[in-house]
């Protein structure tokens, strides 16, 4: 089979292998901010009924709590999270790219929601602008910036996929960021932003607390309806009581069992370099600070941090069969870190000798349509949002507002969307699931090495609006 540029080995394979082995196995973002406790103050009196109980201490839960205080100031809001630190999962592990798209890109949205994609894109842009305004309004110190994105073609067949007003040839793109692997690129400035995810979690938690939101560490096992109240059962002790419940549990087994087939965990790996020297930065350029991604089915994403590091992640997002309810058993695969390090030095041979200080991975909540979906239960007193498929940093705010619409009983422009009212097709159970995902992944790898041509299986899945992505 023909090869891609990433099938090459870096000039100094040994240096690549040594570059990551001493890296700390933890998210740089979370280590940088320290713990953000999910339990504080006096214990919540479980005989009290909260107007809204939010389950989940990531971006979905935090946005839901903050938006609830803004939209319904008289509600009491309680956030339950099973981890000791808020944002300990995907929200503290991601690349920090905020994308306006709510549909995992325009193309995916056009395929699945052709009649409403323009509206969805408008809503996504408004959502991103409202995030920017919120950062400003509350004075969140979270390294928020809008440098734009650079998409790069590293294979000849990808060049014609580049679109927009700002397409660059090989010479031009290497002036923006100097890699011998770049054949062309496109810069897009208005539809994205960048953030330090750990700082964003910290600042959101601070604002939520200042606005009266209460936080408790508790693992929710079940929601049981009673006529006038919902019992939120937990692993330890008496149930909590709420008038409404919003579930932002992402890739974890859904508290509402009927939705457990709609999401599979896919493990995405990340490396973070040490701060680069001025000479190293001069060797690659990147003065515009754009967030970068390449264009294969298996793709990398990379970016600069404010303190002069490079985050480098993606490519070999893997589904592994077997019980993993905590979503950690299949994380941190050394073979994937090695592959990522090799690809880094193939992309930036000028940076030979640079070390990675942190390595980590996190589980992505992949659903078969690659964009957030919503569940409801118990006469709409319970709402559920999941399925962001690796693009949830911005979309979680939209999901939060949509869940609030649902549990408040409001009909809005969000609740009538077919994206909100429809569900993705669930994944089949094991033992079918693993071979099916494996053959789809094999087909995607093959397409990357075959001029981008999609085989019959991928074309059939495309026609059915199904797929596998990260």
Ligand X SMILES: Cc1cc2nc3c(=O)[nH]c(=O)nc-3n(C[C@H](O)[C@H](O)[C@H](O)COP(=O)(O)OP(=O)(O)OC[C@H]3O[C@@H](n4cnc5c(N)ncnc54)[C@H](O)[C@@H]3O)c2cc1C
Q: What residues line the site for ligand X (CB under 6 A)? A: 55-61, 80-83, 89-91, 93-97, 99, 219-220, 248-250, 252, 255, 268, 270, 313, 362, 364, 388, 390-394, 396
**Residue closer to ligand X, measured from CB, 148 or 248:** 248
Q: Give, for 176, the enclosing helix (H) or strand (E).
A: helix 170-176
**Residue closer to ligand X, measured from CB, 95 or 185:** 95
Cα distance between residue 297 and residue 448, in whole Å: 6
**Residue closer to ligand X, measured from CB, 183 or 367:** 367
Residue sitting closest to ligand X (CB): 392
Cα four-point dihedral sign 363, 368, 371, 374: negative
In the complex, the smallest distance separating the C-beta of residue 55 from ligand X, rounded to whole angstroms, is 5
In the complex, the smallest distance separating the C-beta of residue 207 from ligand X, rounded to whole angstroms, is 16
In the complex, the smallest distance separating the C-beta of residue 201 from ligand X, rounded to whole angstroms, is 8
Q: List Cβ neighbours of 278 (8 Å cut-off, separation of 6 or more).
A: none
In the complex, the smallest distance separating the C-beta of residue 318 from ligand X, rounded to whole angstroms, is 12
**Residue closer to ligand X, measured from CB, 75 or 315:** 315
- Burial track 184-219 (b if 16+ CB lie within 10 A, e otherwise): bbbbbeebbbbbbbbbbbbbbbebbeeeebbbbbbe
With CA atoms as reference, report the closest residue to 269 among 10, 13, 470: 470
**Residue closer to ligand X, measured from CB, 242 or 390:** 390
In the complex, the smallest distance separating the C-beta of residue 386 from ligand X, rounded to whole angstroms, is 7
Tokens of 358: 């942190």
Cα distance between residue 175 and residue 168, in whole Å: 10
Helix (H) and strand (E) counts in the chain: 14, 20
Cα distance between residue 148 and residue 133, in whole Å: 17
In the complex, the smallest distance separating the C-beta of residue 86 from ligand X, rounded to whole angstroms, is 7
**Residue closer to ligand X, measured from CB, 80 or 310:** 80
């Amino acid at each position: 089979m023909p090869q891609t540029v990433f099938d090459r080995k870096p000039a100094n394979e040994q240096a690549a292998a040594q570059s990551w082995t001493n890296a700390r196995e933890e998210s740089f973002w979370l280590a940088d901010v320290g713990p953000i406790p999910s339990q504080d103050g006096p214990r919540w009196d479980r005989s009290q009924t909260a107007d809204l109980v939010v389950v989940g201490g990531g971006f979905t839960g935090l946005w839901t709590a903050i938006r609830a205080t803004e939209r319904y100031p008289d509600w009491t809001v309680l956030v339950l999270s099973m981890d000791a630190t808020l944002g300990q999962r995907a929200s503290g592990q991601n690349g920090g790219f905020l994308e306006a798209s709510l549909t995992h890109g325009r193309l995916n949205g056009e395929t699945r929601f052709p009649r409403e994609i323009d509206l969805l894109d408008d809503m996504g842009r408004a959502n991103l602008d409202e995030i920017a305004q919120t950062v400003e309004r509350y004075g969140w110190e979270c390294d928020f910036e809008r440098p734009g994105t650079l998409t790069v073609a590293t294979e000849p067949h990808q060049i014609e996929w580049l679109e927009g007003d700002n397409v660059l040839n090989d010479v031009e793109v290497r002036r923006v960021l100097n890699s011998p692997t770049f054949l062309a690129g496109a810069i897009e400035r208005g539809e994205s932003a960048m953030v330090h995810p750990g700082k964003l979690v910290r600042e959101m938690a601070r604002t939520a607390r200042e606005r009266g939101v209460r936080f408790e560490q508790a693992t929710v096992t079940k929601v049981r309806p009673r006529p006038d109240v919902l019992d939120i059962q937990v692993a330890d002790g008496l149930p909590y009581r709420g008038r409404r419940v919003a579930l932002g549990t992402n890739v974890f087994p859904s508290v509402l069992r009927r939705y457990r087939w709609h999401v599979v965990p896919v493990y995405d790996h990340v490396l973070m370099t040490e701060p680069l020297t001025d000479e190293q930065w001069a060797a690659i350029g990147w003065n515009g600070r754009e967030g970068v991604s390449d264009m294969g089915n298996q793709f990398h994403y990379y970016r600069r941090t404010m303190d002069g590091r490079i985050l480098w992640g993606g490519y070999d997002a893997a589904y592994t069969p077997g019980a993993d309810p905590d979503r950690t058993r299949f994380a941190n695969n050394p073979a994937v870190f090695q592959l990522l390090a090799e690809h880094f030095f193939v992309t930036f041979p000028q940076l030979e000798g640079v070390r990675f200080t942190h390595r980590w991975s996190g589980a992505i909540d992949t659903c078969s349509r690659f964009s957030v979906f919503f569940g409801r239960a118990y006469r709409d007193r319970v709402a559920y949002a999941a399925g962001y498929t690796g693009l949830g940093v911005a979309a979680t705010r939209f999901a939060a507002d949509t869940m609030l619409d649902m549990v408040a009983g409001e009909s809005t422009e969000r609740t009538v969307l077919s994206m909100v009212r429809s569900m993705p097709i669930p994944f089949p159970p094991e033992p079918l699931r693993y071979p099916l995902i494996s053959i789809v992944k094999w087909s995607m790898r093959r397409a990357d090495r075959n001029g981008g041509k999609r085989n019959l299986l991928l074309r059939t899945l495309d026609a059915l609006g199904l797929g596998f992505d990260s």
